[in-house]
Amino acid sequence: MANLTAPKMITSMLSKISPRRGVEGLFIIVGLAIILTFIFMAIFAPVLAPYDPNKTRVGGLYESPNPKFPMGTDRLGRDILSRIIWGSRTVLIVTFLSMALSSACGVTLGLISGYVGGKFDTALSLFMDSLYAFPGLILAIALAVMLGQGIMPVTVSLTVVYVPIYFRMIRSEVLSMKESLFVEAAKAIGAKGRTLIFKYIFPNVIPSIPIVLSLNAADAVLTLAALSFLGLGLPAHIPDWGFDLRMGYGALTAKIWWPGTFPGLMIVLLTLGFSLFGEGLAEILNPKLSGG
């Protein structure tokens, strides 16, 4: 896989997704379908949602699912379906944003640290390893407590939690590539530092990123929902599935199941979408790991 340019690599990746790999192909397709559905939901929220998600008393309080409110209403009389649809926006924005940031940070730091080596690398790795050893949720809680509520603080919390993953992965790939022949060859023709890193090493590191991105996205959705569930997430005026799930606990014993079940279900589905996609991708690109 040495020295292919990025476009060539993507095509070679895609060509491996042949119909022969039945089950894994199914995973990818279903996963992608789910993700795209939610993206669609998020983009067209204003059009799709029948009501204003924050408007209280559009219907009765705790109305059970009926044709007017397919998912029922919550304790403030808000339409749950609309909250779900708008909530997808929230989740996807935070997730994609934090994934972009953490991968950018992690990959860059990993590239630099792996390449430069020495004390800088040792120190940074130690720091990253400690961060990594923490349960993601606990770390996110710690950060969120300090940073307070709001989309940006929550995004930052999530970003920090995932940076070590990219860092470690990229760094180890860089380390193994540093010794490889083609880097030697590049050096021999006079390539230096920055060029070496970005033009030669980086393109070869790219293939492993999408899988990690996808699986991390799944994790991020769960962590975000957990933060909201624990009361650390977003302010009340932003529709958020985790928060709604929490609220749904209130009327449980009265057999009012819909305010909690639907938001929670969405969380699970979106996570599943990312997971299936990531897993399918992983098994196709790394068949050894699947054992199948």
Partner 1 sequence: MLLILLSVVFVVLRVAGDPVSAMLGGHAPISEIERIRKQLGLDKPLYIQYLNYLMNLAHFDLGRSMIWGQRPVLDEILEHFPATLELSISAFTFSILLGVFTGVFSARRRNKPADHAIRLYGIITYSIFIPWFGLVLQLIFGVYLGWLPISGRSDPRMAPEIITGLYVLDSILTMNLPSLIDSIRHLILPTVTLGIYLSGIYTRLTRTHMIDILQSDFIRAARARGLPERTIIYKHALKNAFIPILTMMGLQFALLLAGAVLTETTFSWPGMGYFLYERISYRDFTTIQGTIVFIATLIVLISLIVDIIYVYIDPRIRY
Which residue stretch of 60-68, 78-86, 105-113, 218-226 sits at the interface with partner 1 (rule: CB under 8 A)? 218-226
Smallest separation, CB 212 to partner 1 (Å): 15
Q: Is 263 left (phi over 0), alpha (psi -120 to 50) or beta?
A: alpha
> Token digits for 90?
């929230």
CB burial string 58-73: b at 16+ within 10 A, e below: bbeebbeeeeebebbb
275 forms part of the interface with partner 1 (CB under 8 A): yes
Residue pair 262/71 in contact by the 8 Å Cβ criterion: yes
Binding mask 176-215 for partner 1 (x = CB under 8 A): ----------------------------------------
Q: Is 232 in the site for partner 1 (CB under 8 A)?
A: yes
Is the CB of 127 or the CB of 198 nearer to partner 1? 127
Minimal distance, residue 245 CB to partner 1, in Å: 6
| Calpha distance 24→33 (Å, rounded) | 14
Tokens standing for residue 135: 């349960």
Identify any residues that bridge with 79 across adjacent strands, giving them in sequence order.
73
Please tell me whether residue 19 binds partner 1 under the rule CB under 8 A: no
Task: Check binding of 225 to partner 1 (CB under 8 A).
Answer: yes
Q: Does 126 bind partner 1 (CB under 8 A)?
A: yes
Q: Does 236 bind partner 1 (CB under 8 A)?
A: no
Spatial separation of the C-alpha atoms in residues 42 and 245, rounded to whole Å: 19
Residue 254 CB neighbours (<10 A): 8
Residue 63 contacts partner 1 per CB under 8 A = no
Residue 115 engages partner 1 in binding (rule: CB under 8 A): no
**Contacts to partner 1 from residues 238-267, by CB under 8 A:** 242, 245-246, 248-249, 252-253, 255, 257, 260-261, 264-265, 267
Separation in Å, CA 171 to CA 103, 134, 182, 216: 13, 19, 18, 18
Contact 217, 275 (CB under 8 A): no
Work out which of 136, 207, 233, 239 binds partner 1, going by CB under 8 A: 136
Nearer to partner 1, 190 or 291 (CB): 291
CA distance 118 to 110: 13
CB closer to partner 1, 158 vs 183: 158
Contact 261, 252 (CB under 8 A): no
Site for partner 1 in 20-49 (CB under 8 A): 23, 27
Residue 104 near partner 1 by CB under 8 A: no
Q: How many helices (H) and strands (E) are present in the chain, helices listed first?
A: 14, 0
| Residues composing the chain | 292
Residues making contact with partner 1 (CB under 8 A): 23, 27, 126-127, 129-131, 133-139, 141-143, 145-148, 218, 222, 225-226, 229-232, 242, 245-246, 248-249, 252-253, 255, 257, 260-261, 264-265, 267-268, 271-272, 275-276, 279, 289-292
